[in-house]
Structure 1
Amino acid sequence: MTTSSTKRSRPFRSLVNRLLENGVLPTKRMIILLGCGAAVAAAGSLAGLGYALFWMYNALLLLASIADWYTMPRAKKIAAVRRLPEQTDIGQELTVSIELENHSGQPILFRLRDDLPISFDRPEAVEGILKQKYEMVSYTTRGNERGLFTLSYLYLRYQGKIRLWEKQAKIPCEQKIKVYPDLTAVRGYLQSLQDSLIVDGKKILLRTRSGTEFHAIREYVQDDDPRYINWSASARSRRLMTNQYRPEQGKVLTILLDCGRMMGVELEGKTKLDLTIESALTLAAVALKQGDQVALLAFSHEIKTYVPPGRGLAHLHTLVEAVYDLQSDFVESNPLQALEYLHRQQKRRSLIVLFSDMENYLLEDQLGAYLWRLRRSHLLLLLSLADPLLHEWSRTETKDSRLAYIKALAQRFWLDRKAFQQKMIGAGIQVLDIPADQLTLTVVNSYLDIKSREAL
C-alpha cells in the first residue's frame, strides 16, 4: 500500500517552514567571528595551544549565541499591517506604508521585504531600528502591468541584542490592488474647464458650436457666427450676446476592443492593447461629457465582456472596471463574431469604433461584406495601430538582394493596407491606420468631427 505524495512530503514542508519561513540565520557579525576563531586557532597552534584556544573561543561564542537567542524577541511579539491604496495607474509611483508593532519591550534591528508581484518594481529592503511600540515605515514601487494583484505576506528579519543571529518571520497580510490603465488624459479632460480639448499637451479641436439643440447664451467673442447673435439678450445686458448651440445629445457610441494575439505586440514599451484601452477610455470620457451614451464590447475568439450603453460620468467608472484587467489572448481574434453579437444586443443606431489590428481586417474574408451590410444601420470607424517596423523596412536602402526582398515584401504589405482602406472608404466606412503616439488624438478628433457634422 502506497502513501500519497502529500503525506510523504509533509516532513519536507515542515522543514521548509522551519528554515525559510521561521528559521534562524547567522548575521554578518557571526560569520566574521567564526572566521576570527579560525585565525585564533591557527595562531594558537604555532604556540602549541591550538586545541585549547579553539575550544575556549568556540565555547565563548556558543555562550554568546545562547544569550543572543534568549534575548531575541518571539515572533508573536511583532506584528505588521500594510496600508496601500485600492488602485493605482500603470507606471505611476506608489507609496506603500507598513505599520510595525513591537510588544517585546526592547529595541529591534529589522529588515523588511514585501510580497510584491513580479510585474512591480522591487525596491531595496526596508531597514531600521524599531524603538517604539508603534512605528511607520514606507517604500515606493510601481506597477508595470494592468490587472488585479494580490500581496499576501510580509517577510521580516530581526536580530537580538548581541546581533549574532537573526530570525525570519512570514507575516500573513493579504491585500489586493488594482492597476488601472494610464488615465492621465481622461483625468486631464474631465478636470479641464477650457473650451478646448487638450490631449498630450495638444489642443486638438474646439468643442463644436454647431448643432440644432440650444445650449446657452454667452458673451459674443471674436470669430463667433454673427447669425447667432441674440439681440434681445444683448439689449438687456448692454453687451453683445450670442446663442450657443450643440449637437443633439443622447447618441450612442459603441467601443469594440480586440484582445486577440496581435494586440499583445509591444509598441513603445506598452502593448497595443494597453494603448487602445487608454485611447478608448479617453474617447468614452469625451462622449459621456458630451451627453452621449457609451457601450463597450471586448472580444478575442470569444466575447470577453460587454457593457450596455450608459450615460453620465458614473458610467465611466463602470467602463474602467470592465477593461482594467483585460489581457490579450494567444489566439486569433474573431471580429465578425463580435459584430454579430453586438448586432443582436444593440438595435439602436450608433457610432461603432473598432480598435483592432490591420492584419485582422485583411485576414478575415467575410468581414468586409458584413461591414458593408452593417453600415446601413450604424456608422463605422475602424482603427489600427500602424506598424513602425513595416514603415521602416519599406523605406530602407536596398544594399543587397536580401534587403531588396525584405523591402519589396514590406511595400507589398503596405499597399495591401492602403487598398483595404480605399475599399472601405468607398463603401462609406472610415479606416484609420495611425501611429501609436497619435491614436488618442486622432480618435477623439474623429468623434468630435462626426458630432459637429451631425453625421450620427
Structure 2
Amino acid sequence: MPTKKLILLMLVVSLSLFVASFFGITWTFIILCNAVVLFATFLDLFLSPNKRQLSFERVLPQEMERDITYEVELKIENHSDKAIKFRFKDDLPQSFKRPFPYYGTAEKDRATIVTYETAAPVRGEYTINQLYFRYRSTLGLWEKQKTVNMEKTVKVIPDLTETKEYLENAQKFLLHEGVKIKKQNSSVGEFAKVRNYVVGDDPRKINWRQTAKLQEVMTNEYEPEHGKHITLLIDCGRMMGVELKRGNRLDKSLEAAIAVAAAALKKGDYVAVLAFSKGTKVYVPPGKGMEHLQTILKAVYNLKADAAESNYGVVLNYLQTVQKKRSLLLLFSDVKTFLHEESALAYLRRLRQRHVFLMIGIEDEELRKQIKKQPSDMQSTMVKSIAQQQMVFKKREKNRWEKQGLQMIEAKEENLAVTAISNYIDIINRGLL
C-alpha cells in the first residue's frame, strides 16, 4: 500500500512537471521523469523485507481479573538484513482497553520484544485471534501488511483483590463499622494457640503459666469448630445489572461472595454456591479446602445479569431439596427488590427453622444523596420527599422481616466484601451454627 510519503512525492513531482510545462518541456521528458520516479519507488518496495522473513509470538495471560491492567508481550523476529518501522493492531475485543495503533522499530536480523497494557472491564470468555501488522520499506514509500493468525482464549474473571487481601491480612476484615467483632462465647470453640495479650482480650483467658515464664502477659486464643456449612446465594436478576462506579451490582456481589468463600474455606468450612434469576443458573455443591475455590470461580466467573426479575420462591424451594444440613444462607441481592417479594417470606420462614439467613445488598447512594440534598425549588422538594418515603418504607419492611429472624444488611459498594466477611465471622464466632 502507498504511504502518505509516496503520495506527497508524486504530488510534488506532478506539480513540478505541470509548472515546467509552461516553459516548453517535451512529453518525452515528462514521461521519462515519471518513469524514473516510479522505478525508484518500486525498487524501494522490492528491497524491503519479505513477509516470510517476519515471525510473531504473542504472550498474554490465560486469566485476567476484571478491571486489572495486564501486560501483553509481542515478540517480533526480523530475519532480514534491514531494520523496519512498524505499527500493529491486536484483535482485542471492543470492551478491552485498546492502545492501538502501536508504533515501533524492529532491528535487523534479531528479535524485538514489545509490550502494551490492556484491561478488561467485562467478565467472560474471549477469543483473541488475528494480529494486523504493517511495516514500511527502507525509504518509507510503501507499506506492507501481514495478518497473523494466533488464536488465544482469555477468561476475564472477577477482581480477586479483596480475596487476596483477606488471605494476606485477615485482621483487616474483622472490623465492621469501627467495632471489632471477633468475639465468641467462652464456652464455644477449641484451643488454637497462646499469643500476646492485647487490649480488648478477655482477662479470664490469660495464661498465667506462660505469663510467669515469659514475663509477658499471654492469653489463650480459641477458634470456632470447623466444618460448618456456608451457602452463598447470588442474585442474577434485572436489578443486579445496575451500574456502579466500577462494574455493576453483580460484579461487586460476585467479588464479595468469592472473598467470603475464601475466608470460609481457609477456616475449614464447607461452601456451596447457588446463582439464580428466573431459575437456577449455577449450583456448586458443598466442598472443602482451598482447591474448592477454583471450582467455584470456574462456575461463576461468566455469570451475567438477566433482563428478567428474579424468582426467589422457586430458588428457595430448590434450596430446600439440595441443602439438608444446617448452614448459613448468605444472599447477595437488592434489598429493595427483595422486600417486595412476599412469596419468598413463606419459604424463608421454613428455611429459618433449620438455617441461619443473612441478606447483604449494596446501598443506594443516589437515594441517600437525594435525602441529604437541600431542596431549592418545588421539583427538588418533591424528589427529596419521594426519596425519604422510599427510605421509610425500606426501614419498616426490614424491621418486619428481621423480627422473624431474617436479617438484612446494606453496605457501600467498596465495603461489601468487608461487611460480608465480618458478619460471617461474627455468626461463626457466636456459635449460631
Q: TM-score, normalised by structure 1?
A: 0.87
**Residue pair 2:361, 2:410 contacting (<8 A) in 1 also:** yes
Letter in 1 for 2:276: F
- Corresponding position of 1:430: 407
Aligned to 1:445, which of 414, 422, 427? 422
Counterpart secondary structure, 1:266:
coil
Superposition pairs of residues 8-23 of structure 1, within 5 angstroms: none
**Residue pair 2:74, 2:113 contacting (<8 A) in 1 also:** yes
Using the TM superposition, give the Cα deviation of residue 191 of structure 1 relative to its aligned residue in structure 2, in angstroms: 2.1
Superposition pairs of residues 199-348 of structure 1, within 5 angstroms: 205=180, 207-208=182-183, 210=185, 212-223=188-199, 224-230=201-207, 241-348=218-325
Seen in structure 2, the aligned counterparts of structure 1 residues 201 and 178 have a Cα distance that, compared at 3 Å, is: farther
Counterpart secondary structure, 2:92:
coil
Aligned to 1:177, which of 131, 148, 154? 154
- Corresponding position of 1:420: 397
Counterpart secondary structure, 1:131:
coil
- The 1-side partners of 2:85 and 2:340 are apart by 63
Pairing 1:100–2:63 present:
no
Counterpart secondary structure, 1:43:
helix
For the aligned residue pairs, the C-alpha RMSD in angstroms reads 2.5
Letter in 1 for 2:306: D
- The 1-side partners of 2:395 and 2:175 are apart by 28
Seen in structure 2, the aligned counterparts of structure 1 residues 73 and 339 have a Cα distance that, compared at 3 Å, is: same
Counterpart secondary structure, 2:172:
strand
- The 2-side partners of 1:382 and 1:50 are apart by 91
Aligned to 2:61, which of 85, 89, 94? 85
Using the TM superposition, give the Cα deviation of residue 210 of structure 1 relative to its aligned residue in structure 2, in angstroms: 4.7
- Corresponding position of 1:44: 20
Using the TM superposition, give the Cα deviation of residue 220 of structure 1 relative to its aligned residue in structure 2, in angstroms: 4.8
Letter in 1 for 2:76: L
Seen in structure 2, the aligned counterparts of structure 1 residues 400 and 137 have a Cα distance that, compared at 3 Å, is: closer
- The 2-side partners of 1:200 and 1:70 are apart by 70
- Corresponding position of 2:103: 126
Counterpart secondary structure, 1:117:
coil
Superposition pairs of residues 16-31 of structure 1, within 5 angstroms: 25-31=1-7
- The 2-side partners of 1:339 and 1:51 are apart by 90
- Corresponding position of 2:49: 73
Q: Which whole-Å deviations, capped at 9, do the CAs of 1:2-32 have from their partners, x for residues lacking one?
A: xxxxxxxxxxxxxxxxxxxxxxx11122021
Counterpart secondary structure, 1:366:
helix
Using the TM superposition, give the Cα deviation of residue 92 of structure 1 relative to its aligned residue in structure 2, in angstroms: 1.7
Seen in structure 2, the aligned counterparts of structure 1 residues 322 and 305 have a Cα distance that, compared at 3 Å, is: same
User: Structure 2: 5+ residue runs without aligned partners?
Assistant: none
- The 2-side partners of 1:80 and 1:160 are apart by 19
Counterpart secondary structure, 1:291:
coil
- The 2-side partners of 1:335 and 1:51 are apart by 87
Count of residues in Structure 1 that have an aligned counterpart in Structure 2: 430
- Corresponding position of 1:12: none
Pairing 1:408–2:385 present:
yes
**Residue pair 1:384, 1:433 contacting (<8 A) in 2 also:** yes
Q: Which whole-Å deviations, capped at 9, do the CAs of 1:367-400 have from their partners, x for residues lacking one?
A: 1222122111111011221222222233444444
- The 2-side partners of 1:204 and 1:275 are apart by 24
User: Structure 1: 5+ residue runs without aligned partners?
Assistant: 1-24
Q: TM-score, normalised by structure 2?
A: 0.91
- The 2-side partners of 1:269 and 1:293 are apart by 30
Using the TM superposition, give the Cα deviation of residue 248 of structure 1 relative to its aligned residue in structure 2, in angstroms: 1.6
Seen in structure 2, the aligned counterparts of structure 1 residues 199 and 111 have a Cα distance that, compared at 3 Å, is: farther
- Corresponding position of 2:121: 144
Using the TM superposition, give the Cα deviation of residue 427 of structure 1 relative to its aligned residue in structure 2, in angstroms: 0.4
- Corresponding position of 1:22: none
- The 1-side partners of 2:306 and 2:276 are apart by 10
Using the TM superposition, give the Cα deviation of residue 129 of structure 1 relative to its aligned residue in structure 2, in angstroms: 2.8
Identity across matched positions, percent: 37
Counterpart secondary structure, 1:26:
coil
- The 2-side partners of 1:227 and 1:363 are apart by 47
Using the TM superposition, give the Cα deviation of residue 349 of structure 1 relative to its aligned residue in structure 2, in angstroms: 0.8
Using the TM superposition, give the Cα deviation of residue 402 of structure 1 relative to its aligned residue in structure 2, in angstroms: 2.9
Letter in 2 for 1:92: I
Aligned to 2:86, which of 88, 100, 110? 110
Using the TM superposition, give the Cα deviation of residue 358 of structure 1 relative to its aligned residue in structure 2, in angstroms: 2.4
Seen in structure 2, the aligned counterparts of structure 1 residues 225 and 30 have a Cα distance that, compared at 3 Å, is: same
Seen in structure 2, the aligned counterparts of structure 1 residues 219 and 268 have a Cα distance that, compared at 3 Å, is: closer
Counterpart secondary structure, 2:197:
coil
Seen in structure 2, the aligned counterparts of structure 1 residues 245 and 136 have a Cα distance that, compared at 3 Å, is: same
Seen in structure 2, the aligned counterparts of structure 1 residues 328 and 219 have a Cα distance that, compared at 3 Å, is: closer
Segment drifting more, 224-233 vs 368-377:
224-233
- Corresponding position of 2:362: 385
Using the TM superposition, give the Cα deviation of residue 53 of structure 1 relative to its aligned residue in structure 2, in angstroms: 5.1
Seen in structure 2, the aligned counterparts of structure 1 residues 420 and 201 have a Cα distance that, compared at 3 Å, is: closer
**Residue pair 1:214, 1:243 contacting (<8 A) in 2 also:** no
- The 2-side partners of 1:89 and 1:103 are apart by 36
Segment drifting more, 298-307 vs 49-58:
49-58
Segment drifting more, 126-135 vs 412-421:
126-135
Using the TM superposition, give the Cα deviation of residue 424 of structure 1 relative to its aligned residue in structure 2, in angstroms: 0.9
**Residue pair 1:42, 1:50 contacting (<8 A) in 2 also:** no
